[in-house]
């Protein structure tokens, strides 16, 4: 029997993951990660370096995130139901750095992906440190992805069996050496099966809606959040077409991402898309879908879950969480960079997003689009 630290968000996936781990014979310790939301509770929650105490029942204040007070209460109730210990880690300073990154990327004309950063810095970063401190062999989450054992030294990270819920894309940044200490119990199930099992177990979260928004922006208004953090920084500017024609003004570059068509607030008689964002001039460049097409990209800060190839190799590359992976030839470059040449035009290549390489269902690695 192995000791496992399980990240519990209060949702149905991590709740059923706890049961599946118990059923497999593991000793499960549930952990909820606080992102700094201040609520009135009757206990003091410690950090990974200090005392870590069981949390009490916080007040109900539900939001569509994964770190709210009600989410913590839901996770605690599931832990009580399954009779496993449950603790909270105060990771406010770590989440604060992710928030700073999020705001900085938007103000730089890039499109951040805080969930990917959170996964490899916190969920599979700080949680491993906590696991080590209590002698736990594994760290587990409720992500829809799979770990397949191969002849290699480390398991292969693969897509979850439910194509509508696959989350392997957001896990590409995990250090390869940690794969052998990860458990992903729900990756071999479809979401409907997980909900059915939760109902069978009598878990109150069986029908709880999935988190749809970034945990620190529960209302989904990214631009409002960035503006609230940007202070007096002026991010307004001009809309221009790809040929340099000024066609209007916007109130902030943080409202846009490459590939965006809706919500531009400007009518040009035919569909126009955001083709480029220029932070220095604060211009948002618009064009047709043809103008949006790209046949190559470069990415930096690459992380490989397989031994990096010394020669160009064929694979499929996915540029957004829900994007269709496209066939491409990838060349690994010095200084943790890579070049991707697509076999067909790719639309919506946004600097700041992750480009993740797959071989079939297996994640090979990826990097951040430059």
Helices (H), 216-288: 222-230
> How many other C-beta atoms can be found within 10 angstroms of the C-beta atom of residue 166?
20
Which of 287, 322, 348 is at the close of a domain?
A: 287
Give the separation between CA 315 and CA 24, rounded to whole angstroms: 35
Give yes or no: residues 278 and 296 share one domain: no
Three-class DSSP category at 299: strand
Give yes or no: residues 259 and 144 share one domain: no
Give yes or no: residues 278 and 358 share one domain: no
Instruction: Provide the pLDDT for residue 44.
Output: 29
- Is 8 among the domain residues? yes
- Is 229 among the domain residues? no
- Is 153 among the domain residues? yes
- Is 139 among the domain residues? yes
Answer whether residue 67 shows pLDDT above 80. Answer: no
Give yes or no: residues 28 and 108 share one domain: yes
Q: Total domain count for the chain?
A: 3
* Per-residue pLDDT reduced to its tens digit, 184-206: 999 999 999 999 999 999 999 99
Q: Which of 158, 215, 302, 346 is labelled catalytic?
A: 215
Give the separation between CA 119 and CA 122, rounded to whole angstroms: 6
Verify whether residue 215 is a known catalytic residue: yes
Instruction: Provide the pLDDT for residue 46.
Output: 30
- In this prediction, residue 216 has a pLDDT band, given cuts at 50, 70 and 90, of confident
Three-class DSSP category at 305: coil
Q: Which of 118, 302, 315, 357 is labelled catalytic?
A: 118
* Per-residue pLDDT reduced to its tens digit, 308-317: 999 999 999 9
Neighbouring residues of 233: CB distance < 8 A, sequence distance ≥ 6:
107
- Is 215 among the domain residues? no
Nearest to 134 by CA among 49, 72, 76, 55: 49
- Is 214 among the domain residues? no
Give yes or no: residues 247 and 148 share one domain: no
Give yes or no: residues 280 and 298 share one domain: no
Give yes or no: residues 283 and 347 share one domain: no
Give yes or no: residues 246 and 106 share one domain: no
Range of the domain at 332: 292-369
Which of 260, 287, 314 is at the close of a domain?
A: 287
- Is 99 among the domain residues? yes
Nearest to 236 by CA among 283, 272, 275: 283
- CATH code, domain with 259: 2.30.30.280
- CATH code, domain with 129: 3.40.50.620
pTM of the model: 0.89
What is the rounded average pLDDT for all residues in the chain?
A: 89
Give yes or no: residues 160 and 58 share one domain: yes
Give yes or no: residues 136 and 246 share one domain: no
Q: What is the mean pLDDT of residues 281-295?
A: 96
- Is 186 among the domain residues? yes
- CATH code, domain with 316: 2.40.30.10
Which of 270, 287, 304 is at the close of a domain?
A: 287
DSSP string, 91-140: -HHHHHHHHHHHHHHHHTT----HHHHHIIIIIIIIHHHHHHHTT-SEEE
Strands (DSSP E) along the chain, which ranges? 3-7, 27-34, 86-90, 138-140, 145-148, 156-159, 182-183, 237-241, 246-250, 273-278, 283-287, 293-304, 313-318, 326-333, 337-347, 354-359, 362-369
Half-sphere exposure of 166 (CA within 13 A, CB side): 23
Give yes or no: residues 307 and 175 share one domain: no
Who has greater pLDDT, 166 or 59? Answer: 166
Who has greater pLDDT, 214 or 33? Answer: 33
- In this prediction, residue 66 has a pLDDT band, given cuts at 50, 70 and 90, of low
Give yes or no: residues 54 and 187 share one domain: yes
Who has greater pLDDT, 18 or 47? Answer: 18
Verify whether residue 43 is a known catalytic residue: no
């Amino acid at each position: 029997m192995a000791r496992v630290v399980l990240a519990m968000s209060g949702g149905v996936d991590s709740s059923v993951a706890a049961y599946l781990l118990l059923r497999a014979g593991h000793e499960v310790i549930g952990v909820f990660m606080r992102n700094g939301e201040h609520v009135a509770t009757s206990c003091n929650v410690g950090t990974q370096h200090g005392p870590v105490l069981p949390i009490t029942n916080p007040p109900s204040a539900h939001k569509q995130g994964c770190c709210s007070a009600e989410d913590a209460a839901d996770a605690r109730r599931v832990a009580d139901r399954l009779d496993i210990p449950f603790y909270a880690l105060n990771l406010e300073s770590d989440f604060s750095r992710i928030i700073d990154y999020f705001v900085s990327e938007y103000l730089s004309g890039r499109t951040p992906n805080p969930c990917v950063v959170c996964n490899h810095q916190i969920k599979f970063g700080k949680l491993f440190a906590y696991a080590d401190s209590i002698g736990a062999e594994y760290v587990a989450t409720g992500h829809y992805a799979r770990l397949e054992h191969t002849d290699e030294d480390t398991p292969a990270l693969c897509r979850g069996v439910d194509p509508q819920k696959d989350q392997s894309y957001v896990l590409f940044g995990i250090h390869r050496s940690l794969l052998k200490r990860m458990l992903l119990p729900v990756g071999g199930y479809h979401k409907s099966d997980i909900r059915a099992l939760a109902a069978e177990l009598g878990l109150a979260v069986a029908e709880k809606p999935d988190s749809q928004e970034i945990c620190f922006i529960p209302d989904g208004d990214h631009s409002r959040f960035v503006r609230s953090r940007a202070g007096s920084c002026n991010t307004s500017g001009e809309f221009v077409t790809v040929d340099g024609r000024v066609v209007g003004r916007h109130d902030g570059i943080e409202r846009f991402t490459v590939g965006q068509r809706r919500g531009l607030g400007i009518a040009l008689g035919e569909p126009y898309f955001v083709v480029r964002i220029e932070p220095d001039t604060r211009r948002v460049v618009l064009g047709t879908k043809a103008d949006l097409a790209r046949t190559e990209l470069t990415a930096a800060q690459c992380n490989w879950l397989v031994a990096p190839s010394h020669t160009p190799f064929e694979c499929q590359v996915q540029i957004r969480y829900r994007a269709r992976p496209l066939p491409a030839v990838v060349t690994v470059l010095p200084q943790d960079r890579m070049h991707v040449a697509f076999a067909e035009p790719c639309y919506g290549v946004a600097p700041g997003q992750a480009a993740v390489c797959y071989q079939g269902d297996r994640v090979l690695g990826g990097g951040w689009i430059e």
